[in-house]
Amino acid sequence: MSLVDQHRDETLTRSQRDWLRVREHLQRHRYELGQAAADLYPEATRVAGTPLLSRAEWLPAEPLPLDAIDLTFDPDAPTRGLRSYDPATLGVRPERADGSRYATYSAAMADLAAPTVFENRPTYRLLGAELNAPRGRMSFGRGGYFDGIDVGEAAAHEYAATRLSGTGADLRATIPDPTDTSRRLTNLAISTLTIRHDRSSDAAQFLLHWRDPAKVGHAGGLYQVLPVGIFQPSGEQPGHERNDFSLWRCLVREFAEELLGEKEPDGGPIDYEQWPFAVQLSDAKRCGGVRAYCLGIGVDPLTFATDLLSVVVFDAKVFDAAFGDLVEANAEGEIVSGREADRIPGISFAETQVAHMLSEQPMQAAGAAVLALAWQHRQVLLAP
């Protein structure tokens, strides 16, 4: 059923119907639109031959251990760049029956095409990063999830409309360099390639995720690595913001949620020293049974979604102990585990399988980039 048909019992304005048609086109053709949007930035650095955009200081020459990145947080950092209600977004905010326009793109989505997961939760807003040194550094301020929807997803909608009818691109024109975090409020997702590595046989497998467009507000219908999650506190209550300000802690929560279907602990700030799953993974990491790396940062040319590209390599025994109850689906889509004849979960981390995903399947730009980079750096990532 089309998005317009879902509202057949309601009175929609022509503007709302046009908006829904463009939104549906965007959802159905994200992959092709993303490939084409990359050509709008011919001077930009492209990551590993994928459409993902980056800059020199965001790309380490070798896998950078996650623990080698120093984070700083300034809760009072001024907000700079394009805002949700900027006049440049006017063209992607449809008119209601009373003649008024939705205040933001996310408000239109919430009313006309809300996915299952759609909350304006607090985030850590990326201010800057330098990862091409032995120790990396990243700085953050306060942000909100809808910051990315109201500018990035809105720009994707505008681009889809441009391809359909040749309309202008006022919003995208205000952001000539999508990697410039001073021009827009920039949320950071952590896109993680999860690898199970059997040291005895040197065999490795990786997991993929198919993102259900009915459940997510971004990148629906595409394959992606997993887990993937916005870098954000686990709650809005006082104490969460500082307690969760850790790339590793964010990853632990996403592993529990996306691979095991667990909900985050309720109540106050999470006690990571007492949460059994967090203790299990962190102990394995200290002993070398889990290795976590950063391969860079990149920006999706269609949606401006900005991702930290990470790889977490699990020794086979550690993976099997932690994820014996690996789910087949989660709140955002289906896990493509590709279980083999011996019931080992995962797609073989081999040249033919990697090439197949990169060249023949519709992968989200960040997922394609981290998979391609991981293959380039496989000797480091899978070192004995």
What are 364-374's pLDDT values in tens digits?
Answer: 999 999 999 99
Q: pLDDT-derived band of residue 260, with 50, 70 and 90 as boundaries?
A: very high
Compute the average pLDDT of residues 345-349.
Answer: 87
Is pLDDT of 341 > 50?
no
Provide the 3-class DSSP secondary structure of residue 274.
coil
Say what the pLDDT of residue 266 is.
Answer: 66
Phi, psi of 73 (to 5 degrees): -130, 125
- Please report, for the domain that includes residue 219, its CATH number: 3.90.79.10
Q: pLDDT-derived band of residue 15, with 50, 70 and 90 as boundaries?
A: very high
> Nearest-5° angle of CA 354, CA 250, CA 154?
75
pLDDT in tens, 141-197: 999 999 999 999 999 999 999 999 887 789 999 999 999 999 999 999 999 999 999
Name 359's Cβ contacts closer than 8 Å, sequence gap at least 6. none
Predicted structure pTM score: 0.93
Compute the average pLDDT of residues 120-148.
Answer: 96
Say what the pLDDT of residue 295 is.
Answer: 98
Q: pLDDT-derived band of residue 18, with 50, 70 and 90 as boundaries?
A: very high
On average, the pLDDT of the chain sits at: 92
Residues 93, 110: Cα–Cα separation, whole Å: 12
**Which one-letter DSSP state was computed for residue 69?**
E
Compute the average pLDDT of residues 10-39.
Answer: 94
Say what the pLDDT of residue 168 is.
Answer: 79
Compute the average pLDDT of residues 23-40.
Answer: 95
Given a contact cutoff of 8 angstroms between Cβ atoms, the answer to whether 316 and 199 are in contact is yes
Query: Given the DSSP bridges, would you call strands 69-73 and 136-144 parallel, antiparallel or unpaired?
Result: parallel
Given a contact cutoff of 8 angstroms between Cβ atoms, the answer to whether 301 and 159 are in contact is no
Residues 99, 207: Cα–Cα separation, whole Å: 48
Say what the pLDDT of residue 108 is.
Answer: 97
Compute the average pLDDT of residues 212-241.
Answer: 85
CB atoms within 10 A of CB 288: 9
* Rounded percentage of the chain residues whose pLDDT exceeds 70: 93
Provide the 3-class DSSP secondary structure of residue 75.
coil
Compute the average pLDDT of residues 219-229.
Answer: 87
CB atoms within 10 A of CB 32: 12
Tokens of 26: 């965007």
Is pLDDT of 42 > 60?
yes
Say what the pLDDT of residue 339 is.
Answer: 52
Number of domains in the chain: 1
Compute the average pLDDT of residues 77-97.
Answer: 92
Q: What's the domain range around 69?
A: 5-381
Say what the pLDDT of residue 285 is.
Answer: 98
Of 238, 234, 251, 197, the residue nearest 384 (C-alpha): 197
